[in-house]
Amino acid sequence: MGSATGPHRQFPSGADYAEALQHTQLCFRHPELKGARPELTKLGLPRAISGAFASVFSLTSATSGRRYAIKCFTRHVPDQERRYQAISSRLGQLEPAELSQPWNLGFEYLPDAISVGRDRYPVLKMEWTEAVTLSSWLDDNHAHRFTVDRLADRFEALTRDLAAHEIAHGDLQHGNLLVASDDTLRLVDYDGMYVPALAGMGGTERGHRNYQSPMRGNDDFGAELDRFSAWVIFLSLKAIASDPSLWNRLHEPSGEFLLLTEDDFKSPGGSTRLQTLLAHPDRAVSGLADQVRSLAFQPLDVLPALVQAVPKQRTAATTTSTVSAHGTAAATGTSGLPGWMTGHVSPQVTPTPATSVTSPDGFHIRKPLDVIAAVLWPLMFAATVMMVVVGFSTPPIGPGVPLVASAVLTAFARSRRVERAQSRAALAKLTNELAQLDDPVKAAEKLSKERATFDATETKRTADHSRAQGKLTAQYHAELKEAEKRKVRKQRDMDKKIDGLSEELRKTLSKALTDKQSAYVRDQLGRRLIAQSPPTGIGPKLAARLAAAGIRTAADFTGYRSVQNTHYNSTGAVLVLSSGRVVDIQGIGEGKAIALDVWRKHLLASAEARQPTALSTSERQSIEQGVAHRRAQLTAQRKAVESETETLRVRARKQMEDGQDRLTRENTLAGERARQQRQEFGQRTVALQQKSAVHATLSASAEAAKLRHRGLSYVCYLRFLYIGR
């Protein structure tokens, strides 16, 4: 049995593997797996844990007694053998003493290890570990705050191990993180793992959607793959350690997530779960949640990695949360977050407005003109009263003129105050700066539409690429099928001709003998001249007449034919020549014709009695050699058909590989452009967040400036004149 070949090899289903594993003595060659005992279901069939690309079976070696997880592949994985060999080699170089915990499970890639049907297929042999998934562990332990917090530290240490060795798991999630009995972590499922030896290659998967950044694309494959999912898991563990009730509030039973889902990352504004974490009273939780929210729209290669926390600072942070009288939080760093988070959460850039102009919050320090205006008002009021009392109202001077004069002078004094000029300048500058900024809401909507269009285009491009690859493969198989049909048809024709050569030889030999006998008889008849041994009743005169008509020997005629002689009312005869022509010879009637025919038949019988009964050896060999030559020609033609078909196969494969190389190059270029576009989106998102903050700050400053400007009104100025504020 050989391995199946082809650009997109067809793999058995999980049921096919389960059937084969009922007879491990026959389906395996590996000494530890041959005869191994599989774990069985209640129906007595090998128990399978099925995934997207493979089915995993538990087998116990009959020789060593060790238990292994055997991964049997059900789908094609590009460059599968190269990837697993590179991963196996890199993980094998890790020193256990250098790792924070024994998370690295040994595994071995075995090509052509298992026989299913007529073909052999590869398997992955991994160490079996007794552990539970992270989500199952949290179901049982979420109420133990210290234990969960310790597990968060160990998870952080695991990510530090990976980063230190430039390794990325590619699919960090609750199902691939197992917790052993000693509460240390184990990593499983290395299908999408990145190691330095695979640099430049593409990823085979995008990871669990509830743990991946919305910015992750098909072309992302590097040491930074785990950064976003690491923050998501770390946030979840720290949040549960701080507030165990969050597990029951935000997690769903058997849910494929911890506390947050894909929708929470894509639409943080409408996410109840994320808003719950953002509003949590524990600043460590809210700070981490805010970090995850900001990281969701940044390219993977610019995301910060988790770093080791300082346990003493962390403990202090969880027990000290009071704020001093000066507004400085205890045990906090310069970023305003708890001290233990220093180094975990990337510093948040606080955008500052472009302007530094401040608006005065009122009038300050009376000047001489202000004093004059303040003194003038009572005097003018008194003058007005006096004029009214004495009845002085001669135009153009009336009792109201002193008050109008006071109001005009006061307005003039107010207009000369520097605070009003400063307030107008500050308000104008803020208004101008606001006018120069784009509306952040419209900019966000525009960016959202562009991203939606980009995502739709990328989805279509990915689907088109997959369809194009499928079309190439289908065309390749169609050409192979047509070439095979043509070969079978031609070979069938050749085989029919080759099989017919035996009958052809028999017929040729029979014909050759018949021809030889006919030639012998003709020769013998041609030797008997009528003139030398005439039949009864044929004299020299009639012999001469016969010779004149072309009948000299017994070979020159084949018989006679009776004719009615109407002239003499009698029966005559004509002789039939060897050519089939009839001749009427004078003097040859029916009687003499019968005599000639009897004479000829006697000679014919005598010649046939002496004719050869077999071909000579040379004659037979000549015919057999001719047939053998014909057989050799047909056999050569049959082989040429196989060679011609193989040429067609090679040409079809070359066309398919050239097409695939072209598609790969185009997809790589498109993926690089997409990666750059995603990076640009991330940069624009960060810039938009900063501009939004600037816009909000400027708007608030402008509103405050307007309020302060209203505080410089005429009434406020009058109050300032007499009260001083």
Q: How far apart are CA 376 and CA 88, in angstroms?
A: 96
CA gap 329, 593 in Å, rounded? 148
Sign of CA dihedral 507, 511, 512, 514: positive
Averaged pLDDT for residues 513-536: 91
Q: How confident is the model at residue 508 (pLDDT cuts 50, 70, 90)?
A: very high
pTM of this prediction?
A: 0.50
Is pLDDT above 80 for 91?
Answer: yes
pLDDT for the residue numbered 398: 59
Radius of gyration of the chain (CA): 54
Weakest mean pLDDT among 2-6, 481-485, 598-602 = 2-6
| pLDDT confidence of residue 399 | 64
**Torsion of Cα atoms, 197 then 201 then 207 then 212, to 10°:** 100
Share of the chain above pLDDT 90, in %: 35
The answer on pLDDT for 479 being more than 80 is yes
pLDDT at residue 330 in the model = 35
- DSSP string over 101-120: S--B--EEEEEEEEEETTEE
In the prediction, which pLDDT does 457 show?
Answer: 86
Query: What are the two backbone dihedrals, phi and then psi, of residue 261, each rounded to the nearest 5 degrees?
Result: -125, 175
Residue indicated by tokens 């990695």: 305
Query: What's the pLDDT score for residue 521?
Result: 93
State yes or no: pLDDT of 71 exceeds 60.
Answer: yes
Q: Which CATH superfamily is domain 131-308 in?
A: Transferase(Phosphotransferase) domain 1 (1.10.510.10)
Find the distance separating the first CA and the last CA of the chain, reported in whole Å. 101
3-state DSSP helix/strand/coil % of the chain, to nearest 5: 55, 10, 35
3-state secondary structure of 664: helix
pLDDT reported for residue 4: 43
- Give the lowest-confidence range in 46-60, 141-155, 624-638, 686-700: 686-700
- The pLDDT of 58-80, averaged and rounded, is 87
When pLDDT is averaged across residues 333-359 and rounded to a whole number, the result is 48
**Tens of pLDDT along 208-237?**
899 998 888 777 888 888 999 999 999 999
Residue 270: pLDDT band with limits 50, 70, 90: confident
What are the boundaries of each domain within the chain? 2-127, 131-308
Is the CB of residue 132 less than 8 Å from the CB of residue 14? no
Mean pLDDT over each residue of the chain, to the nearest integer: 83
The tokens describing 598, both together, are 């009897």
Q: Is the pLDDT of residue 346 over 60?
A: no
**Residue, of 262 and 724, whose pLDDT is higher:** 262
Q: Output the pLDDT for position 362.
A: 80
**Would you place residue 413 in the very low, low, confident or very high pLDDT band (cuts 50, 70, 90)?**
confident
Report residue 636 as tokens. 């050569």
Tell me which of 3.90.550.10, 3.30.200.20, 2.40.10.220, 2.60.40.2130 is the CATH number of domain 2-127. Answer: 3.30.200.20
Q: How far apart are CA 664 and CA 396, in angstroms?
A: 97
Residue 452 has phi, psi (to 5 degrees) of: -65, -45
Range with the poorest average pLDDT among 233-237, 353-357, 460-464, 587-591? 353-357
CB 485, CB 649: distance < 8 Å:
no
Q: Do 308 and 236 contact (CB within 8 A), yes or no?
A: no
pLDDT at 260 over 90: yes
Of 484, 481, 477, nearest to 644 (Cα)? Answer: 484
Confidence band, pLDDT 50/70/90 cuts, at residue 155: very high
pLDDT in tens, 647-679: 998 998 899 889 988 888 888 888 788 778 877
Query: Identity (one letter) of the amino acid at 487?
Result: K
Distances (CA, A) of 87 to 95, 118, 227, 625, 719: 15, 29, 19, 65, 81
Q: What is the pLDDT of residues 186-210, one digit of tens each?
A: 998 888 889 998 887 777 788 889 9
pLDDT of residue 397: 54
- pLDDT reading at 299 higher than 90: no
The pLDDT value recorded for residue 582 is 92
Q: Give me the percent of the chain exceeding a pLDDT of 70.
A: 89
Of the pLDDT bands very low, low, confident and very high (cuts 50, 70, 90), residue 357 is low
**Both structure tokens of 249:** 């509030």
Query: What pLDDT was estimated at residue 130?
Result: 84
- CA atoms of 62 and 488, how far apart (whole Å): 47
> What pLDDT, on the 0 to 100 scale, is given for residue 707?
84
The predicted pLDDT at position 350 comes to: 45
pLDDT at 371 over 90: no
Q: Which long-range contacts (CB under 8 A, 24 or more apart) does 266-271 make?
A: 266/214, 266/296, 268/293, 268/296
Residue-wise DSSP of 226-250: THHHHHHHHHHHHHHHH-THHHHHH
Please give the Cα distance from 241 to 142 (Å, whole number).
Answer: 7
Measured at the alpha carbon of residue 445, what is the angle toward residues 442 and 447, in degrees to the nearest 5?
110
Other CB atoms within a 10 A radius of the CB of residue 144 amount to 15
